[in-house]
Structure 1
Amino acid sequence: MNRLFRCAVAAGLLTLLPLFPAAALSKRLPPLVHSQQVVVVVTDSWDANQGKLQAYTRDAKGWQPHGPAFDVAIGRTGSAWGLGLTGTPADGPQKREGDGRSPAGVFAIGSAFGYTGKATTGLTYQPMQSTHYCMDVPASPQYNQIVDAREVGAEAVKGSTEPMRLDLHNKGDVRYRQGFVIAHNAFNEPGHGSCIFAHLWRQPGEATAGCTAMTAAHMRTLLAWLSDEAQPRFVLLPRAQYHEYQGPWELPALTEALR
């Protein structure tokens, strides 16, 4: 399997739209309609690089919190609208390659990955080897895909700054020891941002290049809970935008910790 993002186009993924106002987006099918699990991250503003994460599961009464909320770090320069399941609203910054912002919106959750041969999770899992890279070069035909140099050739991964075995390039780097794909830019539009993951942080609160980082304990708990069958989704929004789109997108009510 040389395309970890293949599952990002699973059932429920809608055709991406150009910039649209909230009124037009509200007429689309709600992005969580087929999902039973959602991971929500809320920040204070577009420029905040820290947030709170709350998992939710859907039962007969609707969305219910799953476990306690906890702290996460996001992109070092905050967040910006990404290419996800809702189209791209115009009321905020737009995600671009190298901007240091995490994509905001609603996204499918793709495969889990890590340094070990297997993991306790209901997600499809891919162990990372020294030959795995995520292509962050916009001109590459493999842009925004995790590839194996043994399959695509060493020349194809030239220029990528995202080896998936970070520990082999920077001794002791645990960030990709466990994680999962956030399926931003699932159609691999050049320059709109690539290689967006939930992964471990090296130090508490350390901001990222555009991913969402957390403790190893919290990641283990999330991975053990997440399941492909539940069609899980990932939501990241500044608080004001969460309240604006909560109704149209039928998002869960925020717990006290995220309000």
Structure 2
Amino acid sequence: MTRYDMVLTRQGLRFMGRMWPCTIGRGGVRHDKHEGDGATPTGVHRLVGMLYRPDRIARPTDWATPIGPRDLWSDDPAHEDYNLIVRAPYPFSHEALRRADPLYDLVILTDWNWPHAECGRGSAIFIHQWRRPGFPTAGCIGLSRNSLHRIAPLIRYETRLIVPGTLAG
């Protein structure tokens, strides 16, 4: 592990010498993640991108990409675009990245099942804003808005999200 790794613990997300309260998926932590189980997958996940809403927040880093009005995330395991960003109109199953609520105002992308997705293994494990403390995600890591905005500029090329197998239920 390096100084820049984010490590999920039972107490929160350990990063840069401090503990950040977080939430995980409603399905807990699992070794055998699959689409729709709501689980946070174990493993060492590289951080491969950052998206933000330019109409709501300032660019958090110079490498962050703006979320446009037509940006979606494909979650259709039967489609070739599975687990990739796509643009509307898109007739297959997807999740809107530009939401009415603030959950995706700032999104850190992991390499879970990406870029060559295995059908049904699960999509879109992000680090994003939580709904509220203790409220689970659909498999992502959720942080308070303040924590997320403080963490984003500290991320380096070598930063990884580590979800230890010992947390799996």
Task: Verify same fold: TM over 0.5.
Answer: yes
Give the match for residue 136 of structure 1.
75
Q: What are the equivalent positions in structure 2 for 1:213-228 lying under 5 Å apart?
A: 213-228=142-157
Query: Which of these residues, 77, 92, 105, is aligned with residue 43 of structure 2?
Result: 105
Is 1:79 the counterpart of 2:8 in the alignment?
Answer: no
- The 8 Å contact of residues 9 and 167 in structure 2, kept in 1 or not, is answered as no
Distance 1:139 1:104 in 2: 24
Q: What are the equivalent positions in structure 2 for 1:94-173 lying under 5 Å apart?
A: 94-116=32-54, 118-121=58-61, 124-149=63-88, 154=89, 157-167=90-100, 173=101
- The 8 Å contact of residues 121 and 227 in structure 1, kept in 2 or not, is answered as no
Give how far 1:237 is off.
2.3
Q: Which amino acid aligns with 1:76?
A: R
Give how far 1:159 is off.
3.2
Residues 155-197 of structure 1 show CA distances to partners (whole Å, capped at 9, x for unaligned) of: xx22334100111xxxxx1110112001101221110000110
More helix by share: 1
Q: What are the equivalent positions in structure 2 for 1:176-255 lying under 5 Å apart?
A: 176-186=104-114, 187-228=116-157, 231-237=158-164, 239=166
| Residue identity (%) | 28
Give how far 1:67 is off.
3.9
Q: Secondary structure at the match of 1:113?
A: strand
Is 1:41 the counterpart of 2:8 in the alignment?
Answer: yes
Is 1:53 the counterpart of 2:3 in the alignment?
Answer: no
- The 8 Å contact of residues 43 and 165 in structure 2, kept in 1 or not, is answered as no
Q: Secondary structure at the match of 1:110?
A: strand
Q: Which amino acid aligns with 2:43?
A: G
Give how far 1:134 is off.
0.6
Q: Secondary structure at the match of 1:107?
A: strand
Q: Which amino acid aligns with 1:160?
A: S
Residues 24-44 of structure 1 show CA distances to partners (whole Å, capped at 9, x for unaligned) of: xxxxxxxx5xx662111123x
Give how far 1:239 is off.
4.2
Distance 2:167 2:120 in 1: 27
- The 8 Å contact of residues 115 and 177 in structure 1, kept in 2 or not, is answered as yes
May I ask how many residue pairs the two structures share in their alignment? 165
Q: Which runs of 5+ in 1 are unaligned?
A: 1-31, 44-50, 56-65, 82-93, 168-172, 242-259
- The 8 Å contact of residues 143 and 188 in structure 1, kept in 2 or not, is answered as yes
- Change beyond 3 A, Cα 1:205–1:238: farther
Q: Which runs of 5+ in 2 are unaligned?
A: none
- The 8 Å contact of residues 29 and 167 in structure 2, kept in 1 or not, is answered as no
Cα RMSD over matched residues? 1.9
Give how far 1:238 is off.
5.2
- Change beyond 3 A, Cα 1:135–1:161: closer
Q: Which amino acid aligns with 1:206?
A: F
Give how far 1:103 is off.
1.1
Task: With the length of structure 2 as denominator, give the TM-score of the two structures.
Answer: 0.89
Q: Which amino acid aligns with 2:7?
A: V
Give how far 1:145 is off.
0.6
Distance 1:129 1:120 in 2: 16
Q: Secondary structure at the match of 2:95?
A: coil
